[in-house]
Amino acid sequence: MRKFWGVFILELCFALPLQAEQRPLEDVIEEVNPSVVSIAVDVSDREQALGAGIIISADGFVVTNAHVMENAKKITVQTPDGETFAANLVGIDEKTDIALLKVKKPLNLEAGHFGDSDAIRVGNQVFAIGNPFGLGNSVSLGIISAKERDIDKGPYDNFLQTDAAINQGNSGGPLFNMDGKIIGMNTAIFSEDGKNAGVGFATPSNMVKWVVSQLKQHGKVIRGWLGAAVQNIRTKDNEKENALAISAMTENSPAAAAGLKVGDKILALGNISLKNPRLFSLGVAKLAPGTALPITFSRDGQIFNAEITIKTAPEEMKKPETEAVSAEELHSFEELGLDKYKIGKAVDFAGLNLSAYYDEKTKELVITKVAANSEAEEKGVKVGDRLVLADGKQIFGTEDMQVKLKQAAGGVMLLQLRDSEGAYGVSLTVRK
């Protein structure tokens, strides 16, 4: 009996501190709710856009989505207790869909606190606060469904996915963890009919913090630039290599100055992630121009070490056109152009042991057949995959691809493809 009670008391002692750390959700919501504001944007005399925002400092800085600010003529911020303030736009970053506002004459506003979005795990509970349909602050509860989502919204997509209800008017509002720390900013949803489908996307708080610091300091985001496009590499076992291949490169870029060439494999670049091209590009973008770091790469089986100095990203680098769905701009999948493709006749590319047709809408080759036991099959090329670039160059039709194959006959061609999981690359020997 003594042993039984001894164990019970010991377990109770360990359990009490854990229970003490778990605050009631109602208390957490009550504490953070004042930091969430409703935003009304006058875009014309008769038209108004609605969204949400996060107070990030007591002196009146508010962060929200850039798309909420589109065509803004007048910006009004309303706190949960009904007070309204005029606000100015400090800066905007369309590549990450983030805008920074400054409230005029703030009255010691209650600010939210950022958490570490890298520490959040799939399955963790979260809650969102926003301004759905202009109703004012509303709370929805859910979990983190996935991380590092790419939804083709911009070049630095790295979204947290949640099933917490997000609707029109929630854009720019916060996603909190159970401690009341901001771990994301609600940005977009996927929906066929405009209704919440339990698939929402939030910009990670670490991204928001970095962009906000840039906007505060410069009024815009200054990004590091390498001047090389990269892609995943697949082995014969259809596994991704822990390296990235250079698929295209800009002349007079930092990559070119370091001696890199199209087809080289990047094995290491400082502490930048090589998990996928998106995380790699994001890591480079966060580097301050002038930063010098070591790079290790391979070419034709030889390994090279060099130093590369990051430059400022050219201003003319634009965000790709996107058909992602914001919480204020819902479309059906038909409107997204996913229902029809202009399909050409499939052509046999004997040099690569595969067949494909040219999709004029996307300017890509769609694989229709892969020869059994071929190198392409061994490296994971599948029917339905899309061939985007050949040796770093765009493909302008089946005839253009035949010309490229003829020029590369007897050598190796680096192909950039994409499938349902994203972009990947393979190097295939071109038969004569």
Residues recognised as catalytic = 67, 97, 171
134 forms bridges with which residues in the sheet? none
Among the listed residues 66, 37, 315, the one whose alpha carbon sits nearest the alpha carbon of residue 187: 66
What's the rounded Cα separation, in Å, for the pair 355 and 365?
9
What's the rounded Cα separation, in Å, for the pair 368 and 226?
35
CA distances from 64 to 115, 127, 141, 220 (A): 17, 17, 20, 15
Hey, what are 61's tokens?
A: 């800085």
What's the rounded Cα separation, in Å, for the pair 425 and 51?
40
Alpha helices, DSSP H, located in 194-273: 205-218, 254-257
What's the rounded Cα separation, in Å, for the pair 318 and 67?
16
What's the rounded Cα separation, in Å, for the pair 140 and 269?
41
Torsions phi, psi for 69 (to 5 deg): -90, 0
Among the listed residues 222, 224, 383, 381, the one whose alpha carbon sits nearest the alpha carbon of residue 290: 224
Contact assessment for residue 143 and residue 125, using Cβ atoms and an 8 Å cutoff: yes
Chain position carrying tokens 């493709």: 341
State whether residue 324 is helix, strand or coil. coil
The neighbour count for residue 144, using CB atoms within 10 Å, is: 23
Alpha helices, DSSP H, located in 22-126: 25-32
For the chain, state the CA radius of gyration.
25
What's the rounded Cα separation, in Å, for the pair 159 and 203?
5
